[in-house]
Amino acid sequence: MNTQPMIEALMARLDEWGAKYIVELEEIRKDIRGLQAGQAGLRAEVKELRAEVKELRAEVKELRAGQDELHAGQQELRKLYDQLRSDLNTGLRRVDRKIEILNDNLLTMKADIRDLEVRVEKIESERLR
């Protein structure tokens, strides 16, 4: 029996499989290189994102410091407002009392003037008689 043709067929078949697996292996290697390139790109983007996050954290820290300053200023303004309001109320009460005193004095003077007018009329009417 001649085994040569079987061996050649088997070898041909193995060569086909080998060629097929070599092509598939090259495709896999190509895919791996693509994945590695993508991974390198992702690493670069992650590095960039980390830098941006660091910047954002610094800016947030500055904003919080600014907010704290604004809050402190707001509290100081509130104290000044309360003091001004208290002083204004005190001043208005004084003015109110002074107006009340002036009003009382004016009424007293008007009453005195009316009494004097009545006396003058009485004197004038007595003189005319």
Q: Which residue has the tokens 């697996």?
A: 21
The number of CA neighbours under 13 Å toward the Cβ of 9 is 5
Q: Give the model's pLDDT for residue 19.
A: 92
With cut-offs at 50, 70 and 90, classify the pLDDT of residue 6.
Answer: confident
CA distance 40 to 34: 10
CA distance 110 to 113: 5
Q: Which helix (H) or strand (E) holds 3?
A: none
On the question of pLDDT at 72 being above 90, the answer is yes
Residue 129, helix vs strand vs coil: coil
Where would I find the H helices in 1-129? 4-128
Q: pTM of the predicted model, to two decimals?
A: 0.49
C-alpha 59 chain-centroid distance? 13
Give the least confident one: 18-27, 47-56, 96-105, 118-127.
118-127
Which amino acid appears at position 43 of this protein? R
Task: For 88-111, write each residue's pLDDT tens digit.
Answer: 999 999 999 999 999 999 999 999
Cα R_g (the chain), whole angstroms: 54
CA distance 110 to 108: 5
Q: Measured at the alpha carbon of residue 12, what is the angle toward residues 8 and 18, in degrees to the nearest 5?
A: 140
